[in-house]
Chain A
Amino acid sequence: MTETGSLLLTFFIVCGLGVFTGGLPGNEKHAACVSIIGSVASLALLTASGIVLLSGRAFSMALWALPLFGKMMLGMDRMSALFLFITGMVFLPVSIFSAGYLKRYTGRYSLKSFAVFYFLLFASIALTLMAMDVLSFVIGWEAMSLLGYLLVNYEHEQADTTRSGMVMLLMSEAGTLAVILAFVILARTTGDMGFASLRAGAVHLGAVAGWFVFLLSFFGFGVKAGLVPVNSWLPMAHPVAPGNVSAILSGVILNLGIYGIVRINADILPIAGTGQGLVVLLIGTLSALVGILYATPEDDMKKMLAHSSIENMGIVTAGLGAGFVFLTSGHPVPAGLAFIAALYHMTNHSLYKALLFLGAGSVDMQVGSRHMQGLGGLIRRMPWTALFFLVGALSIAALPPFNGFVSEWLTLQTLLQCAVLPSKAVKITFALCGAGLALTAALAVTCFVKAFAMNFLGKERSEKAAKAAEAAPSMTISMGILAVACFLFGILPTYVIPAMDRVVQPYVHVSAVDQLVPPFFTVGRGNDKFDRTFVADFHKLGAQVGSRVLPGRGLVIMHRGGKRNPVIFAMSPAYTVAVLLLLLGGTFLIIRLLTRRRSLTHGPAWSGGLGRLPPEMTYSATGFSNPVRVIFRGIFRPVTVRDARETVANHFRSAIRKDQLEIHMIDRLFGKPIVHYGRRLAERLGRMHSGRVNAYAAYVLAALLAVLLIQGLA
């Protein structure tokens, strides 16, 4: 057995140990157990997947041969390894975080069941990602869905938790059914259920069957990824889930949806037509827009983060869609770039969203409220949490020098590559999607300026916020780990992109990395892979000097074009951060020099001359996001449920109260009709219930005849 194999075995054994200790009696030590055992398991998984990711030695292991389903296979290629690596990267800090966070449940809920579910979920996620045949995949997937539901439903004593959990379970099962159906269609051409033989057999699948597989799998997996129009469960599940579970839900489980889409639509049955790629691109863009539109005015912090997860998954999907379109139109290099951008964004999203959810979780735990309306001023009470939340907010708002910037910039640049595509209509679609994503990025800035400012700056808007204390060290340390990761992924993308490139190489069949991160610091003058004058130009700039200092490729991301247009786009986040620091330091020095002679007096903030500034009078979260609400009123379509006016005389109003209700656009457009027609259908069918016994016998006979007829015809 290879070292990857033994590491994975260690991982599963440690998970089993976690389940075992979780089952032990007593309730005191479980938080520490989850933390320590979870960290060890994550480290094992990180090392195992890291080895595969770097060395490229794919790992595979046959489990058992079952009579009807063929062999059960576990394996890890680079794609799986990337997803497993991200899983480990999220689970490690979340496990550490749990040590402090789970204390809030001591005595109220059973920590025992939490520990058991947690480790089973971890193992089932790893199983899903390592499954190389349909049966193990479905087992892992189903276990993951159910355990996810159980963990989301952890605070089961609250009524809305149960309802949200049911919606989550329902949608996730519907998605699973669609996915299984897609696998069934795929498996028609082969007897075996292994992914390898499905891939071999998929060549014989017709165009119509291909569309069916695509639609079923895309929307089936889309449920997990939270894509429009199957996203309704996400904003419901997040606010009720415990903080650490939310981090896993957004940082890991959503990725599994993307994994499924990539696995089927890029690997097993590569997308054949531009149409399918465009569907992916459009759905992605739409998800991004809808997600951020609903995130911006949201008051509940976790709900806001959930909507923003929809947005980010939309950006990832849009990148994948662009990749599919490039690939089917015969442009593998931009396709590679698009896939790299998408996977990079997904990695980043896992990091910063886990960070933000952990931050929201600590605020929720320390203050007891997630509603921004009642928070504020927490930077003075919880400085570390505030700092790390700020890093997360900057990352997700795609501001340099953090990681969100790099991947969103790459995604947008890739969409701009549509100039190479032949069809005008496709070009226009790309341009529109690019504009949509740009709008998304702008709204994301608004959304997270609000999130940080309303939680941590200004005055405390409630008693509870004024009395909050900093979170436990285990919680701040875990957030710190993620914040550092966000920073590193933001300034050193040139080391991440080659790894991503090797992941997508099997699907696009070329390496995009030489086009994207040219090895200036290592390439000699005589390398025939590069244009001679091109290399010479960079040597003139002193590129070769850096080879002694830097171990790897350069620090510049640069997409190269043809002779006429040698550089299409270029950026260096590493140099950006250096310049940013220089500018900041320089500005600071200049200001110090200029104001050296000035005296400084400190006075109270001007509050319009009031004796006391009540927190209700400061800028509120609702006020900050109200322009967005007003501008996009046509989309939000609030329904006024109560409009009451108290008047003393005819023209003298003493009080106005207006209650408005917003139904999510997707629920309004898709959910409502489905529920409506579903009910009508159920009513019709319900009439059959109260019939006579003879009628029932007739139904049975008719059904039997129908089955026989179909069988006979086939």
Chain B
Amino acid sequence: MLKWVRKGLRAGIKTTGYPHTRESAPGISPGRPAAMLCDGPQEAGAVAGRCPTGALSNQGNMIRVDHRRCVHCGRCRQDHEHAMAWEGGYEWAGGRKAPGEMAAAFSRSLHIRILDAGACGACLSEIKQISSPYYNIHRLGFFITPTPRTADVLLVAGPLTDPMRLPLERCYAAMPDPKRVVAVGACAVSGGIFGPSFAAAAGISQCVPVDIEIPGCPPPPLALLHALLMVAGKTKQT
């Protein structure tokens, strides 16, 4: 046991200072494609056509990116001639509500209930990271709770497969007001590569009202932290 103490003392504090200090490395996330101007409409069409989820679309020679659908597959930058430029960063979360509406009840602490609505496991493994010593959500007053009865935030990953529709509804109904729903990852936001299909919906917004969406496949832990800070009204922008 002494060994642990010594090792811990030698290692020092490794926890990130985000959001008070700027964090540069967004985990293992490769980043995401940024909007791009092509030489001509045909080239743009070819680049956009490489996208398997329809995240890219072209208007003339301008390629737009719908990040809600992007799964970071990298096909758009595989062709060396017309490779799309990718951007770094992680503050990707976007709200469906005005920020002022969000903050009121959640400024002190948040209790989070995690629900797997048919996720592949990638988002869940990133979610698991946020309570690890490096990201440590507890320092921000965020706690994971096993029951929706005491939860403020419902964190949902996965495209919402049909068997999970009822549990999601029940879980949402079991949460006390006021409550917020955060959709994690491309699947939960838009259905991703799974939905809409015969077995899955096009994102959880078809079942419960979503307040914040975090695109990404998977979104890095810092993106999750950013979204939770948004719920708590502690982010600077938007």
Q: For window 153-171 of chain B, which residues contact chain A by CB distance below 8 Å? A: 166-168, 170-171
Q: For window 125-147 of chain A, which residues contact chain B by CB distance below 8 Å? A: none
Could you tell me the distance between the alpha carbons of A611 and B147 in the complex, rounded to whole angstroms? 16
Interface size on A, residues (CB 8 A): 7
Residues of B within 8 A of A609 (CB): 115, 166-168, 170-171
Q: Determine whether the beta carbon of B149 is less than 8 Å from that of A611.
A: no
Residues of B within 8 A of A608 (CB): 167
Could you tell me the distance between the alpha carbons of A434 and B166 in the complex, rounded to whole angstroms? 55
Is A606 at the interface (CB under 8 A from chain B)? yes
Is A26 at the interface (CB under 8 A from chain B)? no
Residues of A within 8 A of B174 (CB): 603-604, 606
Which of B115, B166, B170 has a CB less than 8 Å from the CB of A606? Answer: B170
B168: nearest chain-A partner, CB-CB: A609
B164: nearest chain-A partner, CB-CB: A609
A609: nearest chain-B partner, CB-CB: B167
Residues of B within 8 A of A604 (CB): 170, 174
Q: Kindly provide the distance from the CB of A34 to the nearest chain B CB, expressed in whole angstroms.
A: 52
Residues of A within 8 A of B207 (CB): none
A607: nearest chain-B partner, CB-CB: B170
Could you tell me the distance between the alpha carbons of A267 and B168 in the complex, rounded to whole angstroms? 73
Could you tell me the distance between the alpha carbons of A608 and B174 in the complex, rounded to whole angstroms? 10
Q: Kindly provide the distance from the CB of A597 to the nearest chain B CB, expressed in whole angstroms.
A: 14
Residues of A within 8 A of B149 (CB): 606
Could you tell me the distance between the alpha carbons of A606 and B154 in the complex, rounded to whole angstroms? 15
Could you tell me the distance between the alpha carbons of A603 and B173 in the complex, rounded to whole angstroms? 8
**What sequence of 0s and 1s flags, for each residue 257-295 of chain A, a beta carbon within 8 Å of any chain B beta carbon?**
000000000000000000000000000000000000000
Could you tell me the distance between the alpha carbons of A643 and B173 in the complex, rounded to whole angstroms? 44
Q: Kindly provide the distance from the CB of A84 to the nearest chain B CB, expressed in whole angstroms.
A: 55
Could you tell me the distance between the alpha carbons of A657 and B115 in the complex, rounded to whole angstroms? 33
B115: nearest chain-A partner, CB-CB: A609
Q: Determine whether the beta carbon of A611 is less than 8 Å from that of B148.
A: no
Residues of A within 8 A of B173 (CB): 603
Could you tell me the distance between the alpha carbons of A606 and B115 in the complex, rounded to whole angstroms? 14
Residue among A603, A609, A610 with the highest chain B CB neighbour number at 10 A: A609
Could you tell me the distance between the alpha carbons of A637 and B147 in the complex, rounded to whole angstroms? 37
Residues of A within 8 A of B167 (CB): 608-610
Q: For window 113-153 of chain B, which residues contact chain A by CB distance below 8 Å? A: 115, 147-149
A611: nearest chain-B partner, CB-CB: B166
Residues of B within 8 A of A611 (CB): 166
**What sequence of 0s and 1s flags, for each residue 331-344 of chain A, a beta carbon within 8 Å of any chain B beta carbon?**
00000000000000
Which secondary structure dominates chain A's binding surface? loop
Q: For window 587-638 of chain A, which residues contact chain B by CB distance below 8 Å? A: 603-604, 606, 608-611
Could you tell me the distance between the alpha carbons of A609 and B161 in the complex, rounded to whole angstroms? 14
Residues of A within 8 A of B168 (CB): 609
Could you tell me the distance between the alpha carbons of A83 and B146 in the complex, rounded to whole angstroms? 55
Q: Kindly provide the distance from the CB of A580 to the nearest chain B CB, expressed in whole angstroms.
A: 29
Q: Kindly provide the distance from the CB of B117 to the nearest chain A CB, expressed in whole angstroms.
A: 10
Could you tell me the distance between the alpha carbons of A606 and B170 in the complex, rounded to whole angstroms? 8
Which of A603, A606, A610 has a CB less than 8 Å from the CB of B147? Answer: A606
Residues of B within 8 A of A603 (CB): 173-174
Residues of B within 8 A of A610 (CB): 167
Could you tell me the distance between the alpha carbons of A608 and B166 in the complex, rounded to whole angstroms? 11
B176: nearest chain-A partner, CB-CB: A601
Q: Kindly provide the distance from the CB of A247 to the nearest chain B CB, expressed in whole angstroms.
A: 42
B163: nearest chain-A partner, CB-CB: A611
Could you tell me the distance between the alpha carbons of A611 and B164 in the complex, rounded to whole angstroms? 10
B177: nearest chain-A partner, CB-CB: A601
B166: nearest chain-A partner, CB-CB: A611
Could you tell me the distance between the alpha carbons of A604 and B174 in the complex, rounded to whole angstroms? 8
Q: Kindly provide the distance from the CB of A539 to the nearest chain B CB, expressed in whole angstroms.
A: 54
Residues of A within 8 A of B148 (CB): 606
Could you tell me the distance between the alpha carbons of A655 and B66 in the complex, rounded to whole angstroms? 49
Could you tell me the distance between the alpha carbons of A610 and B171 in the complex, rounded to whole angstroms? 10
B146: nearest chain-A partner, CB-CB: A608
Could you tell me the distance between the alpha carbons of A608 and B167 in the complex, rounded to whole angstroms? 8
Residues of A within 8 A of B115 (CB): 609
Could you tell me the distance between the alpha carbons of A520 and B181 in the complex, rounded to whole angstroms? 66
Residue among B166, B171, B174 with the highest chain A CB neighbour number at 10 A: B174
Residues of A within 8 A of B170 (CB): 604, 606, 609
Residue among B147, B167, B170 with the highest chain A CB neighbour number at 10 A: B170
Could you tell me the distance between the alpha carbons of A453 and B148 in the complex, rounded to whole angstroms? 24
Q: For window 34-49 of chain A, which residues contact chain B by CB distance below 8 Å? A: none
B147: nearest chain-A partner, CB-CB: A606
A599: nearest chain-B partner, CB-CB: B177
A608: nearest chain-B partner, CB-CB: B167
Could you tell me the distance between the alpha carbons of A604 and B167 in the complex, rounded to whole angstroms? 13
Could you tell me the distance between the alpha carbons of A656 and B226 in the complex, rounded to whole angstroms? 46
Q: For window 334-371 of chain A, which residues contact chain B by CB distance below 8 Å? A: none
Q: Kindly provide the distance from the CB of B154 to the nearest chain A CB, expressed in whole angstroms.
A: 12
Q: Kindly provide the distance from the CB of B116 to the nearest chain A CB, expressed in whole angstroms.
A: 10
Could you tell me the distance between the alpha carbons of A603 and B170 in the complex, rounded to whole angstroms? 10
**What sequence of 0s and 1s flags, for each residue 383-418 of chain A, a beta carbon within 8 Å of any chain B beta carbon?**
000000000000000000000000000000000000
Could you tell me the distance between the alpha carbons of A609 and B115 in the complex, rounded to whole angstroms? 10
Could you tell me the distance between the alpha carbons of A611 and B149 in the complex, rounded to whole angstroms? 17
Q: Kindly provide the distance from the CB of B162 to the nearest chain A CB, expressed in whole angstroms.
A: 13
Could you tell me the distance between the alpha carbons of A609 and B168 in the complex, rounded to whole angstroms? 7
Q: Kindly provide the distance from the CB of A332 to the nearest chain B CB, expressed in whole angstroms.
A: 56
Q: Kindly provide the distance from the CB of B135 to the nearest chain A CB, expressed in whole angstroms.
A: 27
Q: For window 51-79 of chain A, which residues contact chain B by CB distance below 8 Å? A: none
Q: For window 36-87 of chain B, which residues contact chain A by CB distance below 8 Å? A: none
Could you tell me the distance between the alpha carbons of A610 and B169 in the complex, rounded to whole angstroms? 11
Could you tell me the distance between the alpha carbons of A424 and B173 in the complex, rounded to whole angstroms? 65
Could you tell me the distance between the alpha carbons of A419 and B171 in the complex, rounded to whole angstroms? 60
Residues of A within 8 A of B166 (CB): 609, 611
B169: nearest chain-A partner, CB-CB: A609
**What sequence of 0s and 1s flags, for each residue 659-702 of chain A, a beta carbon within 8 Å of any chain B beta carbon?**
00000000000000000000000000000000000000000000
B174: nearest chain-A partner, CB-CB: A606
Q: For window 86-120 of chain B, which residues contact chain A by CB distance below 8 Å? A: 115
A605: nearest chain-B partner, CB-CB: B174
Give 6 A-B contacts (CB < 8 Å), ordered by A residue: A606-B149, A606-B174, A608-B167, A609-B167, A609-B171, A610-B167
List the 7 closest A-B pairs by CB distance, nearest first: A609-B167, A606-B174, A609-B170, A609-B171, A606-B149, A606-B148, A603-B173
17 other A-B residue contacts (CB within 8 Å) besides A606-B149, A610-B167: A603-B173, A603-B174, A604-B170, A604-B174, A606-B147, A606-B148, A606-B170, A606-B171, A606-B174, A608-B167, A609-B115, A609-B166, A609-B167, A609-B168, A609-B170, A609-B171, A611-B166
